Structure 1
């Protein structure tokens, strides 16, 4: 749901101890999300909120007017209101993602599992940066950048992740049979690569990522997308709008 007003919530001014206590003792938080009508850096945050069954709405965006009132002058920003009325302003996409993953128990059950989750979650940042080069390339250079991405970056990422997923039994998870932040990040990464394919390179992509060629990654994608709350979100009108907005913005 997108809010009709464009007024930003006012963050509660309090000590770090008081803010931490509000987070740790809240019985149910609500959220307001500020981002463009695109997937981009907002997609995993939306997926995490959906997975956690959180009550959230997207704020109507007036970016020129709002930019000065955000922590770093960049998006996304997430506002969490705890059950006692404390308003927390959360910024920087990876920091927001980790915060939500902690809240929804998606970081593993011990220190080693936490490392594994973080390892495979953060390994996707370099892949994302190089994928963005494809998306933002001038149209006449898009296929060139895409070929470089498919040749130089994607195969290494696939090999490393497939090896780990096979060791874990190709069961759709990175850690035992738990849903984790790494699962959700991988699922959306595979979805984005399959959604944003330059014309003429469809077979190239199918030769790299498919149920037959990448069974581990494919199983993660299917497992995450089959989760009832994720599936409901992906079937929503808002998700369809964001899909269309993303493809339209990048001219795919």
Structure 2
């Protein structure tokens, strides 16, 4: 996919760019690699908004197109969201959390007042920590090296992968579940209401759903079942079900592109 082209952002004063950011009739491009990864929540957010958006896709970190264009991205990394405003200004927004906060704020998913915004950001920070723990303790240490052909080595790596996942389920994920089940019940009363804040969807709901979806998609061969279910984690499960029922997100998840991303993500992380 080396033919993918990253656009050049508008160079202008802070005043001009700030005014452009306030517009509501924009189109978007998401530059990222050809799997879910760190852009999955951003794809959910863009799907939720219903705004025009498309992808600038690079195959892997080794994609020559990415290597060539990396220097023109804001922080020399992906994802980056490029917003073309109604005034013709082209903005480049980089780094996962700022992208998500910007889109959530722009499209009403950041809370309805300062206190709700604070509650959303607390939850997102906690979810991010749980997701990164899985990434660094389970995925990366067991990522098979390119060209590995030793079957015994691969078998040992798969066994270690499963053991690391089970350890994460019993420690980091358990702690996360205990805290978030309690928080969700505080918001919705007995049984929860399927939302982290108030009675409407927020970035926190989407982030939690993405975390749960990814843990289940990337469960290593031989690992225990992921301890997330309607019976074991009822409040978190209500959040996931509520997000999946949002028509625009349901349509995105049913799309061929989403199904392809599922398959490519499993292939990329060798599960």
TM-score class, shorter-chain normalisation, is over 0.9
Aligned to 1:151: 170
Q: Distance in 2 between matches of 1:202 and 1:85?
A: 51
Matches within 5 A, 1:15-94: 15-24=13-22, 26-61=23-58, 62-94=65-97
CA offset at residue 240 of structure 1? 0.8
Is the Cα contact below 8 Å between 1:5 and 1:59 reproduced in 2?
no
**Deviation digits for residues 6-46 of structure 1 (CA, Å, limit 9, x no counterpart):** 2221111111111111111x241101111011111100000
Matches within 5 A, 1:98-113: 98-113=101-116
Larger radius of gyration: 2
What root-mean-square deviation, in Å, do the aligned CA atoms of Structure 1 and Structure 2 show? 1.4
Q: Which runs of structure 1 show a deviation greater than 4 angstroms over 4 or more consecutive aligned residues?
A: none
Q: Distance in 1 between matches of 2:223 and 2:141?
A: 15
SS at match of 2:53: strand
Indicate which of 95, 99, 115 corresponds to 1:96. 99
Q: Distance in 2 between matches of 1:151 and 1:215?
A: 18
Is the Cα contact below 8 Å between 1:137 and 1:145 reproduced in 2?
no
Aligned to 1:201: 223
**Deviation digits for residues 104-150 of structure 1 (CA, Å, limit 9, x no counterpart):** 11111111111110010110121111111312222342123212211
Moved more, 41-50 or 131-140: 131-140
Q: Distance in 2 between matches of 1:83 and 1:4?
A: 29
Aligned to 2:241: 222
Aligned to 2:197: 175
Matches within 5 A, 1:231-246: 231-246=250-265
Does 1:10 pair with 2:8? yes
Does 1:124 pair with 2:117? no
Indicate which of 202, 206, 209 corresponds to 1:187. 209
